[in-house]
Structure 1
Amino acid sequence: MNNPSRYKLNTTSFKNYWEKGIGVALLKKLERKPDLKDAERFLPHLFEFDGKADELVQQLHQKMGFVKGQKLVDDYISGKNIFDKETENQLKTFFDDLDTSPSWLDLSLLKLGSEFSQRSGISGLIVLRDYCLMGGYESAAINKPLIYTGALKKGAAKRLTDTTEFWVDITGDDALLNNGIGFKAIIKTRMIHSFSRINILKLTDWDSSKLGAPLNQWDMLATNLGFSLVYLVGLRRLGFKPNENEVKGLFHFWKYIGYLLGIPLNLLPNTEEEAIELLYYWTMTQPEGDEDTIALAKALYEEPILANYPTTKFGRQMMQEFHLFYNYYLLGDYSCNLLQLRKTFTGKIAYLNVVKNKIQARNTHKEHYRKKAIVKGRAEHLEVKRIYLTYNSK
């Protein structure tokens, strides 16, 4: 198999992360530094994709449109009658192959992962936006599907709304069980990925020999690591001190979500140490950012000003400054310079949130405090979701 041209040793942002940034401390958690020669075993995953979901999308969404096709999927999940026998059989084939209660699933760990996500509150959403999402724009290859589907033209507000709604829905109590709102959101996202991949290959000049398959399994794993490991690193940076069980729960939570999304089970990490090694292999074999990723970073930078909330111009300007502070605080000067983000002085007031988190972290060992923080954090998540859907969903 020939290596796609996107597969190259990173010499800029990610290399700096592992040699001079937060990655230095992460690598110390491992018994030995990963050998990049071992990364070559993941090359086949650049060409692998979710064929089972693609088959269902070809049968439904491609023929009748995404909205109508997805309604049938949601109806089937909800137990409603599917009157067309052929369609019912197609749906049954897909869902019969998806074991929603695999033998390895630990419901107690799943609950811990959900609760830790909830207690992150506003800080968790800050990490997802200003660290995970913005940091992801340092790689050109993984973001190409966004360019090919026209996501840049749709604006960052819509993309943030969709991501926030998805994340809040999947992290709710028992949201992944009994065909809950989180389970439905995951299946819908899986269909969106397949629908996008099929149409990118059908309607554009995508070159798989250079980029791998659109939304391939190796990049899907990287996204999963962004929501788990990178999210965890960001929260620690903002003053959170998760206990050992919460960390185990978080990775189990995202292992199950990754499995439901169609990522091969053998790729998904069980522990923080396994996740660190996988993130190292992925990041260190990525091409640096390009004009497309700079444009995506600029769109995210401009989003607070162009959004409809806060409702005042001053409020939107302050929101932009706060996000800029977190970009620099979490990503560091080197990465932010590569993304062409300006520095902020006014936004430094947002550091008060970090101070607050550090003070509150002293009580995380107290169970009654942890439960109180979970309730408070969940309320914050639901309110942010409401704001996004009210003001920024158009």
Structure 2
Amino acid sequence: MTDMRWTNEFLDSMREQSDAPADEAVRSLFAQGLVGSANELMKQLVAKESVSVEQLPAPLRGYFEQSARMPSWADPELIREGQAVFSRCGSLSVVALVCASLPTCYAGAEGVQVLHLTARLQTDTKRRIVETAQMVVDVMSPGGLEPDGWGIRDAQKVRLMHAAVRYLIHQSGHWNPKWGQPINQEDMAGTLVTFSVVTIRALAKLGYTLSEREAQAYYHAWRVVGYIMGVDERLLPEKYEDGALLADTIFKRVFCASPEGQAMTRALIELMEHIIPGNVFDGLSRTLIRHLVGDSTAELIAVPPSDWTKSLVKPLQLLGWVMDEGDEQNVVNAKLSELFGRKLLEGIVWVSRGHERPPFRIPEELRQSWNVRGREQQL
């Protein structure tokens, strides 16, 4: 049953809405011939270098000042509790992101067209995944959503990049108006709930079921991120249960098979198999995706068929884990998924993001608690 707040008529209207403050900042940059200097500043923002507001061109100065404001309903205690959940879940959070959140986004046939028009699907997937994972870590790490926190800066940066992409796509003349605006409000909200609702559901399938309070805290933290990123507040319901209903409503509307979404999924699976060393986990990435998103969504994005039980046999044998009659299979699945996530995270740490981009960074306290080996982090 569709909530009366999110009727098809309303959500259709949201497909025609984008993000006025960020769009205006980008239009002003182009109109004033400031794109070159803005690009340099964006490189500094990506590199986490300190850039004072006074250094920014006027359009960006106003944008960063306005978009850094927290909503009146932001609850610092709930945010901290949500971040604590992320810390406790550890590498399972990474599995949920890469094997549930991202594939769910690829099932949105119209929204994924933006990726198709702005990047080479195969070669750009690695950078997109690593930068998305970096934003998630920055947002959900302790202090990430405090004033001048890395999470706030990342959200502001992504919001501005979305506006730049919209501007350039409109200039290209290759956008189909039937898809609505590029990176429109419905697609933004749909993407946001993959980081909250879809992740919470995936964690349960991985053996970590959150309490009602934990789920609300985790959801609340991402609700705040949505506000910072310019999502319409009508698409940011207060309660997790309503957020879950909105997610299902949007997914029902936008999910459809597309060559672009299927190509993104293939590239994602290939990347996971490439960055995890050895062959212990071969085939497990596609198995996890299908397990976490469900067969119907997996078919839309062309995830190869898999048998969860059979896919566990090889890693269980090689790792020396024997399941006795008294063992709970879901416990073993969770243990295996956690190890898979840790190896995946270690692979992401070592992935290069390209020229002038910093290596993937994890706060020292999280790296130690998650037992993730990799580059030394200077925070």
Identity, % of aligned pairs?
A: 23
Distance 2:47 2:128 in 1: 25
Distance 1:51 1:37 in 2: 21
Q: Is the 1:76–1:82 contact (alpha carbons within 8 Å) kept by the matching residues of 2?
A: no
**Per the alignment, do residues 79 and 34 of structure 1 end up closer, same or farther by CA in structure 2, a change over 3 Å counting?**
closer
Q: How many residues align?
A: 334
1:126-275 alignment runs, 5 A limit? 126-208=95-177, 210-275=178-243
Q: Which residue in the other structure is 1:122 paired with?
A: 91
RMSD over aligned Cα atoms: 3.2
Q: Is the 1:72–1:82 contact (alpha carbons within 8 Å) kept by the matching residues of 2?
A: no
Q: Is the 2:276–2:344 contact (alpha carbons within 8 Å) kept by the matching residues of 1?
A: no
Q: Which residue in the other structure is 1:355 paired with?
A: 331
Q: Is the 2:122–2:267 contact (alpha carbons within 8 Å) kept by the matching residues of 1?
A: no
SS at match of 1:266: helix
Give, as a single letter, the amino acid of the residue that structure 1 aligns with 2:227. Answer: Y
Give, as a single letter, the amino acid of the residue that structure 2 aligns with 1:339. Answer: I
Alignment pair present for 1:296 and 2:264: yes
Q: Is the 1:259–1:265 contact (alpha carbons within 8 Å) kept by the matching residues of 2?
A: yes
Q: Which residue in the other structure is 1:324 paired with?
A: 286
**1:72 shift after superposition:** 7.4
Distance 1:237 1:173 in 2: 25
Deviations 1:181-211 (A, max 9, x none): 1111111111111111111111241022x00
Distance 1:340 1:249 in 2: 33
Q: 1:286 aligns with which of 243, 247, 254?
A: 254
**Per the alignment, do residues 318 and 258 of structure 1 end up closer, same or farther by CA in structure 2, a change over 3 Å counting?**
same
Give, as a single letter, the amino acid of the residue that structure 1 aligns with 2:250. Answer: W
Alignment pair present for 1:70 and 2:42: yes
Q: Which residue in the other structure is 1:6 paired with?
A: none
Whose RCO is larger (CA < 8 A, sep 6+)? 1
Q: Which residue in the other structure is 2:66 paired with?
A: 97
Deviations 1:127-163 (A, max 9, x none): 1111121133222111110001024043422221111
TM-score (normalised: structure 1): 0.75
Distance 2:42 2:194 in 1: 26
Q: Is the 2:107–2:256 contact (alpha carbons within 8 Å) kept by the matching residues of 1?
A: yes
**1:82 shift after superposition:** 3.3
**1:93 shift after superposition:** 2.4
**Per the alignment, do residues 66 and 300 of structure 1 end up closer, same or farther by CA in structure 2, a change over 3 Å counting?**
farther
Distance 1:384 1:302 in 2: 12
Deviations 1:93-146 (A, max 9, x none): 224433624321110001111111222211111111111211332221111100
**1:387 shift after superposition:** 3.8
**1:287 shift after superposition:** 5.1
Structure 2, unmatched stretches of 5+, are 322-328, 355-379
**1:177 shift after superposition:** 0.8
Q: Is the 1:77–1:179 contact (alpha carbons within 8 Å) kept by the matching residues of 2?
A: no
Q: Is the 1:165–1:385 contact (alpha carbons within 8 Å) kept by the matching residues of 2?
A: no
Give, as a single letter, the amino acid of the residue that structure 1 aligns with 2:106. Answer: Y
Q: Which residue in the other structure is 1:8 paired with?
A: none
**1:35 shift after superposition:** 7.3
Q: Is the 2:83–2:142 contact (alpha carbons within 8 Å) kept by the matching residues of 1?
A: yes
Give, as a single letter, the amino acid of the residue that structure 2 aligns with 1:144. Answer: Q
**1:385 shift after superposition:** 5.5
SS at match of 1:165: helix
Distance 2:243 2:258 in 1: 26
Distance 1:187 1:347 in 2: 40
**1:167 shift after superposition:** 0.9
Distance 1:96 1:200 in 2: 26
**Per the alignment, do residues 216 and 150 of structure 1 end up closer, same or farther by CA in structure 2, a change over 3 Å counting?**
same
**1:51 shift after superposition:** 1.7
Distance 2:111 2:166 in 1: 13
**1:340 shift after superposition:** 2.7
Q: Is the 1:166–1:182 contact (alpha carbons within 8 Å) kept by the matching residues of 2?
A: yes
Distance 1:193 1:33 in 2: 29
Give, as a single letter, the amino acid of the residue that structure 2 aligns with 1:300. Answer: L
**Per the alignment, do residues 322 and 287 of structure 1 end up closer, same or farther by CA in structure 2, a change over 3 Å counting?**
closer
Distance 1:185 1:358 in 2: 30
SS at match of 1:289: coil
Higher mean alpha-carbon deviation, 73-82 vs 103-112, is at: 73-82
Q: Which residue in the other structure is 1:111 paired with?
A: 80
Higher mean alpha-carbon deviation, 223-232 vs 155-164, is at: 155-164
SS at match of 1:166: helix
Give, as a single letter, the amino acid of the residue that structure 2 aligns with 1:122. Answer: S
TM-score (normalised: structure 2): 0.78
Q: Is the 2:109–2:257 contact (alpha carbons within 8 Å) kept by the matching residues of 1?
A: yes
Structure 1, unmatched stretches of 5+, are 1-31, 360-375
Q: Is the 2:258–2:300 contact (alpha carbons within 8 Å) kept by the matching residues of 1?
A: no
